[in-house]
Structure 1
Amino acid sequence: MQPYERKQLLARVEREGATVGASIPETIDVQGDRLALREFVFETRSRESVPASERDRVEQAKKNLRRERLQRKHLLEDADIPHEEGERLVESIVGIDRALNALGDLGTSDIEREADANEAADRKRWMSFLKQALGNEDSSARR
């Protein structure tokens, strides 16, 4: 592969919006294991939220996908490979990015729940402070 071809392929990988219109690969080898990636993503996304029992599995899959993406990008940057193989690497990297984007925003309900709990705790602390500052804490404790 010529240096300018490598540069073009790397630019495609790093381009913002590269995943627009890209498809998630049906299957992919990730860290030595074969993963039915498209099925995994659609199965995970079909739920309203990821159950606690599955959360570790999804997080591990995302971690492995990020690691695999990085390895493939390094291969594209450094290895002496033909242009056709570089094209396949770009497609797989963009497919991994697409899967990571789809899996990345899962669990927002937990974040919202945590934010609500933090807000309630803040209100409670504020009310406690106001009662103490106004001297009402002792009178409410007697009731």
Structure 2
Amino acid sequence: MVGASATIGATAHAAPNVTPQGVCGSAYKTVNSAPIGSLGTVYLTYNSSNGKNCVVTIRSAPGTVKAMSTYIYVPDTGEWGEDYGNYTSYAGPGRVYGKGHCVSWGGHIANVYVQVENSNCAALKERRVTSVR
């Protein structure tokens, strides 16, 4: 009966073996990641042909619907990409043009949140914060 409940509660994001490239596209290469406790990982990817970053939050064990989010922000330009909702396996993608800019990004699964600020740029030191709310 538990399996039936999980299937009924599934949303459009119910895909096993999800990868950052499967969500963002094959041209996007993973350039950074941050664990969200033991629940999953948020991935930052970059496409060198178009200068865009893409971020996706992927659960370690897909299953019943949980609140999830993913976001990316470019402080220099104010550009923002995000996705949030109740999903079974991943949230995303969120995309921004990030070539030559620092990016701030993160996501959450259930009550565990991760924020990475000033990431992937030589000018500033990256700052990571994980919190349980």
Q: TM > 0.5 between the two? A: no
Q: Which has the larger radius of gyration?
A: 1
Q: Which has the higher helix share?
A: 1
Q: Which has the higher strand share?
A: 2
Tell which has more relative contact order, 1 or 2 (C-alpha 8 A, sep 6+).
Answer: 1
- Shorter-normalised TM range: under 0.3
